[in-house]
C-alpha cells in the first residue's frame, strides 16, 4: 500500500468515526492540491467515493410480521399488553393467556376471594406491586406482568411453576416441593394457560 493511500484510508477511518455510520465518504481535491473528506457528493469538485453505504437490511413483509406476532395484536387491550410485555420482557401471548384465564378480558371482574381486574390481583399483591387502581386496565396489566416476571425469576424461568404460583401463590408451589400444587383449580388452570399461550404464539 502506497503512503498516500495509507494516509487517505486513515483519514477515511477517522472521518467515519464522526460522520453518520450510514453515509458514503468522498474525497475532494482542491485546485491547490489540498484534500478534503466529506459525506456530501459534489459533482463539480470531482468527488471520489472512498466508502460506500452498506445496503439496508431487508424489511420483513407486513404479513410475515403479523404472523410472527400470532393473534395477540388482534385481541382486546392489545396495545396495553404489548407495552407491559416490552417493559417486563415477557411474551405478549403469555399475558393474554393469563388474562383470558383470570378474567376473560373483563376489567371489572372480581373473584370470591377478592382478586380484581383483568389480571385478578389480590389487594395485598396490588399494593405491594404499586398498583393504586386495580380497575384501571393499564395499571392492572402492568402490575400483573410485573408479578408474573417476578414469579418466573423465582422459579428459574419454569413457566409451569410460575403460572401455578400466579394461581395458587408461590408458597403453595414451594410447599409442594417446587411442583404444581395438588389443588383441582390449579391443576386445571396451568394446562389451560399454557395451551392458550402456545396457540397464540404459533398463530393457530
- The number of beta carbons lying within 10 Å of the beta carbon of residue 101 is 22
DSSP string, 36-61: EEESS--GGGT-EEEEPPPPPPPPPP
C-alpha distances out from residue 170 to 26, 116, 126, 180, Å: 63, 19, 15, 10
The catalytic residues are 102
Element (H, E) at 200: helix 184-202
Identify whether the C-beta of residue 160 lies closer than 8 Å to the C-beta of residue 180: yes
Cell of 80: 396495553
Label the pairing between strands 48-51 and 25-29. antiparallel
How many angstroms separate the CA atoms of 152 and 172, rounded? 15
Amino acid at each position: 500500500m502506497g503512503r498516500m493511500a495509507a494516509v487517505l484510508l486513515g483519514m477515511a477511518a477517522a472521518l467515519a468515526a464522526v460522520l453518520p455510520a450510514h453515509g458514503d465518504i468522498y474525497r475532494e481535491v482542491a485546485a491547490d492540491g489540498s484534500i478534503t473528506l466529506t459525506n456530501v457528493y459534489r459533482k463539480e469538485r470531482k468527488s471520489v467515493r472512498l466508502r460506500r453505504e452498506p445496503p439496508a437490511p431487508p424489511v420483513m413483509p407486513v404479513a410475515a410480521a403479523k404472523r410472527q406476532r400470532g393473534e395477540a395484536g388482534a385481541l382486546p387491550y392489545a396495545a396495553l399488553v404489548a407495552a407491559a410485555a416490552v417493559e417486563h420482557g415477557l411474551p405478549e401471548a403469555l399475558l393474554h393467556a393469563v388474562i383470558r384465564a383470570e378474567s376473560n378480558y373483563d376489567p371489572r371482574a372480581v373473584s370470591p376471594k377478592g382478586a380484581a381486574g383483568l389480571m385478578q390481583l389480590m389487594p395485598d399483591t396490588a399494593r405491594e406491586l404499586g398498583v393504586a387502581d386495580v380497575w384501571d386496565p393499564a395499571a392492572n396489566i402492568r402490575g400483573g406482568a410485573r408479578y408474573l416476571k417476578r414469579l418466573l425469576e423465582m422459579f428459574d424461568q419454569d413457566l409451569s411453576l410460575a403460572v401455578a404460583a400466579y394461581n395458587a401463590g408461590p408458597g403453595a408451589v414451594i410447599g409442594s416441593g417446587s411442583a404444581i400444587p395438588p389443588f383441582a383449580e390449579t391443576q386445571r388452570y396451568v394446562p389451560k394457560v399454557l395451551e392458550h399461550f402456545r396457540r397464540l404464539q404459533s398463530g393457530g
